[in-house]
Amino acid sequence: MERYLDHFREEHIDILKEKVLFTHMSGDEIRSFITHANPWYVALYEGQSMRMEREYAHMMGLVISGRTHIYSVSYDGSRALLRSMEEGESSGMLYSVLDYNNSLIEFVAYSDCEMMMFSPDAITDQSQGEVAVQHKILVNLISSQKQMFYAMTQHLACLSQRSVREKVMRFLRYYSELTHSYEFDVPFTREELADYLAVDRASLSRTLGSLRDEGVIRYRRSRFEVLTTRYFKY
């Protein structure tokens, strides 16, 4: 089961100062927002999951530490991997894609992680006398959403490819550009990568094996190396 943290810890202030959402905010301003937002905290061990549905599906999640994958879940139980949020790259980025009201969202911990969850009303409702702090949050939110929408655009570009091979190559191009390297780690297991690309895992494995045999890539678990620039350059 997920471990719910009963209250805000003072040490969270220094951690949150490093997050995009709280850029250029003082400790007192962050503390004021936390008091206003009244968030709840949850900690997941590696591999644990937490589902949010109906009136809770629209809540915003901020990863304080660790890494988590975010899935949308249909009512027949099928899942679509939307993205990964991690410390450094996207941990601390507010996650809210359009409106998932009446949908089911699932967080799956890739590693041990802590998250802070709160209603978007905490930012948009300006009737509680926290307008100055909320304005700073909104400005930072716009900045954080740039990164999120870039990741979404790249994901859609992968999904729009017609063949499994084209999806894989577009994914490798994305991570090569993201890391500015032809050798990189991806935050997915094989099964998770198949979910991310919306392909069958067996087809993904065959495609990766074919690309390896052709001398296009080399890989071991989540570590990939692009061996030729014939297909793309970052």
Same domain for 72 and 33, yes or no, is yes
Same domain for 141 and 168, yes or no, is no
User: What is the total count of domains within the chain?
Assistant: 2
CATH number of the domain bearing residue 212: 1.10.10.10
| Residue 65 domain flag | yes
CATH number of the domain bearing residue 33: 2.60.120.10
Same domain for 112 and 30, yes or no, is yes
153's CB contacts (< 8 A; 6+ apart) are none
Residue 150, pLDDT above cutoff 70 = yes
* pLDDT tens digits, 29-74: 988 888 888 888 888 899 898 887 766 666 777 888 888 888 888 7
If you search the block for the tokens 């067996």, which residue do you land on? 202
Same domain for 49 and 118, yes or no, is yes
Residue 203, pLDDT above cutoff 90 = yes
* pLDDT tens digits, 178-200: 999 999 999 899 999 999 999 99
Quote the CA–CA distance of 87 and 211 in Å, as a whole number: 31
| Residue 231 domain flag | no
Among the three residues 99, 120, 148, which one is the final residue of a domain in this structure?
Answer: 148
Among the three residues 148, 169, 203, which one is the final residue of a domain in this structure?
Answer: 148
Same domain for 192 and 125, yes or no, is no
| Residue 44 domain flag | yes
Domain of residue 191 covers: 161-226
193's CB contacts (< 8 A; 6+ apart) are 171, 186, 204
Any idea which of 73-77, 139-143, 157-161 has the lowest mean pLDDT?
A: 73-77
Same domain for 135 and 167, yes or no, is no
